[in-house]
Structure 1
C-alpha cells in the first residue's frame, strides 16, 4: 500500500511537503507510510484519497505501475529465506534507482531461486528432506500445538461443539475466512485444488477422487492460508508445508478436545481402536490413524509407530517414536524401502477377512510390538495402514488378545531378503526377471515452485475463470 501511495502522489506531481500541507499529516509520517514502516490509519487514507481524487478501493488495489511492482517484488525477494540463508546484502530501494538496475536485481534474485530449485530436485534431496522432517516430528511427538490452537479458534468461531465436522460448519469456516467455493470440471490435472488469492476463491474438482477425501482437500487449501504459508524455497520447505496443512485439516475434522476425551475414555476401558476414532468422526481409516499419532504420546502417554505400505511391500509413509526399527537407506530415509514380510503391515495382505482389523504381535531384535492394520484400495493399488505400539502398551487396545504372532529378524538379510537355500539351489542362474523399475526413485523431482505442478497450466486456468 505504501508503494501505491507514493505512486499516486508522484503521478499527480506532488511533493511530501505539499501533501502534508493539504492533508494535515506530517511529512515524516507520510514518508513512513510510503516506505511501509508505519501502518496507515483509516482516517489518514480517507484524507489522502480525497486529495488524490481516488477511492479507498483504488488506494488498496494492486499497483498498476511496473516500477512499483518491481520494487515490491525486490523487497520481498531480499527478505526471503533463500536470500537470508545466502547472506545476500539488501539494497536501499530509492526513487532514484535506475529502472535497469532494478530490473537486473530482480532478475538475479529470480535466477538464483530457479538455480537452487534445480539443484535440489534430486531423489537424494527428497529422501534427505524426508528424513530431516521425520526427525523434527519425532522430537515433538508429532504434536503441533500452534496448529491445534489455530484449529480450535476457528471451530469456536463457528460454534462447533462435538461430533463429525459437517458440511455446514466447513462452509461457515470457509465464509469466515473470506473465501468462496467453486467446483469445476477443468481443474489442472497436476492439482487437487487451486486457490485464487486475488479474488479469494477456492477451486475444487467437480467429481471427488477416490484417493482424497473432499473435505480434507478443502481444509488443506484453507490451511495454507490460515498458516500463512509463502511459496516454498526448497523441497524440505514444501514437505513441511504439506505436513502442516494435513495436520490442520485433521485438527478440524477430529478436534483435539473432543478427540482426546474420546480416546482417554477408550483407554480407561482398555478399548482403544483406530476404527472407533474413524467412526466417531466420519473420516477414513488412514486419517484416523494419522490423527492417533498426533495425540497418542502427548495425551495418552503411548509412544507409537505408523506405516502406510503398498501391496508390493514398499513403504510410502512412516513415523515412529516407540523404538521400532524401520528399514532405512544411507540418508536415513524410510520411504521407498521394502518392509519385512513378517511385519503386520505385510501379513495383512494375505488375510481373507478384509472387513475387520488384523492384529498381530511381532517379535523383533528391539522387542515385541503389537500392531493393528487394515487394507484399503487407492488408484495406485492396495495399501495397508498400520498402527503399532510396544508390548507393554498393547494392554490399552482392543484386539490385544489376538493369537497371531510372527518373528522378524530384520535387518538380518537371512530374515526375508535372501531366498531360502533350497529355492536358491534349484533356481539360481536359471532365472532372469524383467524388473518393474520405480521410475520416480531414479528421476529428478518434478520442477516448479510446487513440485509436479505446471505453473503455466494453473495460471491459464485462473485466467479462464477470473
Structure 2
C-alpha cells in the first residue's frame, strides 16, 4: 500500500529528529548510509519514500530501530505543530479559499505556527457549524427524495445488514422485542441505558468510549419508539457513519438509520411474505401490517413504500400531512400530482383539500380508516387515510395507489369519490366568484406568523444538537457510573 503524504511527512520528521539528536548534518548522515545529502533532504521533507534497506541503514546510524522511525506519532512538539498545519492546509475547506499555503521554515517560531493553526481551527469550526440556508436544505432534501424514487425507495444493502443482525440475535418471527434489541446492542459492545435527563436536543446519546447508548425512560407509554431509537443509534456504528460533512450528508445518514430501524422492526423476508399473502387474499391493509409487527401506523405505511413496488409490483404514495394541510413527509412513485415550489421541494406545501389526506380530518369517526377515490389530472387514485393527534396538533397518514391497483386493498369498495384539479387555483386555493364579489375589499384578517420563518436551520456537527449539553450529560453519567 502506498503511504499517504502525511505518513511520509511524519516519517521524514522522525528521521530528522534522530539525525539532529545525534548531531549529524544531512551530508554527514548521507555519507554514513550511502546517499547524497540532497536525497536525504527530500526524504525528511516527505517528498520521497525511502527503501527499506535505506531505513535500516538510517536506523543503525542513528542508534534507533526501524519500527521507531515508522511510528505514526510526531517525534516532538515542533513536528506535531508542523504536521497539523500540513494536514490543515491540505483540507478541502482551506483549498476552497484559493489561498497559498504557508511554507514552514526553520526560522519560523512555534508561536507563529500555533497562531496560524488557530486560524485553521476556527475555519474548520465555522465550516462544521455553518448554518444551512433553507434553500440548501430543501435542495438537499429534494435530491434525496428523487434519488430514492429512482430506486423505488429500496436499499438492498441495508436490508441484508438488518437481516444479518437479526439472525445473529436469534430473532425469527413476530414483533421485535426490547430484549432482542438489547441483545443486538450487546453484540456491538453497547449497553442500553434509560435515563430521565437526556439533552433536550437529542433523541439518544451514544458513549463510544464506555459502550453505552442512553435513551429516554422505558416507562414511555407503549415504548414503541424506544426500539427504533436504539436501532438507529446502532445503525450509525454498523453503517460506518462519521460526523456529517454537510446538511445533505446529515439527511442521508438520518435516512439510512431510519431505514435500518424499519428493516429490523419489519424484516424483509417476513414482511414480504405477509404482504404477498394479503395481496393474494386481496386484503392489503396498513392497519394489519402495523399490528402484525407491533409498529406505528406511520412506520407501517413507510415500510410499504420500501417493499410494495420491488416485491409486489405496486407503485404507491405515502403522505404525512398536518392539520393545516402542509405535507410533513412524502414519497411517491405512482405519479400522484403533488404541489411543489420552484426548487421542486414538496415538504411544507399545502396538499389539495380534496385529497383523502385532508378530507379525513372531517370524518366523524377518526378511529377507523378513511377510504376514498380521487380523480386528478394524472388519473384516479385510491387512498387509505388514518388521523392522529400529537402535542404539536393533528395529522393524517395516507397510503394510496393508482386505480388499477386498488383491487388488492381492503376498502376498495368505498363509494367516496372526489375530484381534484390542482394545481389549478380554482380547485381549492381561490374563493369562488360569488364569495370574491361579496367580500373582496371588506376583509382584513390578522395573519398567524409561524415562528419557524425566523428560525435558522440547525447548526453544529450534528445539526440541531447542542454539543455542550451532550458533553456535560456524558461527563455527568461517567462520574455517576
TM-score by structure 2 length? 0.79
Say if 1:103 and 1:228 are closer, same or farther in 2 by CA, change over 3 A.
farther
Q: 61, 69, 72: which is aligned to 1:35?
A: 72
Distance 1:161 1:90 in 2: 58
In the other structure, the counterpart of 1:245 is 257
CA–CA distance in structure 2, aligned partners of residues 372 and 211 of structure 1: 26
Find 2:399's aligned residue among 378, 387, 396. 387
Separation in structure 2 between the aligned mates of residue 303 and residue 416 of structure 1, nearest angstrom: 27
Matched, 1:254 2:266: yes
Alignment deviations for residues 275-324 of structure 1 (CA, whole Å, 9 cap, x no partner): 11101100000011111111111111111111100011111111111111
Task: Tell me which of 184, 207, 211 is aligned to 1:196.
Answer: 207
Partner in structure 1 of residue 384 of structure 2: 372
2-structure distance, mates of 1:91, 1:140: 46
Give the C-alpha shift of residue 133 in structure 1.
1.1
Separation (CA, whole Å) in 2 of partners of 1:320 and 1:92: 54
> Which of 454, 460, 464 is the aligned partner of 2:472?
460
Q: Deviations over 1:158-212 (max 9, x none)?
A: 1111111111211110100001122211111111111111212111122538997
2:365 alignment counterpart: 353
Deviation at 1:132, TM superposition (A): 1.1
SS in 1 for 2:320: strand
Measured on the aligned residues, the alpha-carbon RMSD in Å equals 3.6
Cα deviation, 1:408-446, whole Å, max 9, x if unaligned, reads: 100000001101222222222222222222222443213
Distance 2:392 2:437 in 1: 35
SS of equivalent residue, structure 1 residue 292? helix
- 1:228 equivalenced with 2:240 (yes/no): yes
Q: Secondary structure at the match of 1:220?
A: helix
* Matches for 1:58-457 after TM superposition, within 5 Å: 100=111, 103=114, 106-116=117-127, 120-206=131-217, 208=220, 213-457=225-469
SS of match in other structure, 2:318? strand
Partners in 1 of 2:232 and 2:418 — Cα distance? 38
Contact 2:322 2:394 in 1 (8 A): yes
* TM-superposed deviation, 1:250: 0.5
Q: Does the 8 Å contact 2:357/2:397 carry over to 1?
A: yes
TM-score of the superposed pair, with normalisation by structure 1:
0.81
8 Å contact kept, 1:122–1:443: no
Instruction: Kindly state the Cα deviation for residue 35 of structure 1 after the two structures are TM-superposed.
Output: 3.4
Note the C-alpha offset of 1:18: 12
Per the alignment, do residues 423 and 111 of structure 1 end up closer, same or farther by CA in structure 2, a change over 3 Å counting? same
Q: CA deviation at 1:387?
A: 0.9
User: 1:463 is paired with a residue of what secondary structure?
Assistant: helix
Q: How far 1:111 sits from its partner (Å)?
A: 3.3
Contact kept, 8 Å, 1:211 with 1:379, in 2: the verdict is no
Larger radius of gyration between Structure 1 and Structure 2:
2
Q: Secondary structure at the match of 2:271?
A: helix
Tell me how far 1:385 sits from its aligned partner. Answer: 0.7
What whole-Å deviation, never above 9, does each CA across 1:229-253 have from its counterpart, x for those lacking one? 1111211111111111110110111
Relative to structure 1, the CA distance from residue 31 to residue 286 in structure 2 (aligned partners, 3 Å threshold; closer, same or farther) is farther
Distance 1:144 1:378 in 2: 30
Corresponding residue SS for 1:213: helix
The gaps in structure 2 that reach 5 residues or longer are 1-6, 23-54
Measured after TM superposition, the shift of residue 261 of structure 1 is 1.1
Q: Would you say the 8 A contact 1:82–1:233 is kept in 2?
A: no
Cα distance in structure 1, aligned partners of 2:271 and 2:99: 46
Contact 2:316 2:401 in 1 (8 A): yes
Q: How many angstroms does 1:68 deviate by?
A: 9.4
Which residue of 2 is the match for residue 44 of structure 1? none
8 Å CA contact 2:201, 2:466 repeated in 1: yes
8 Å contact kept, 2:317–2:333: yes
SS of the counterpart of 1:202? Answer: strand
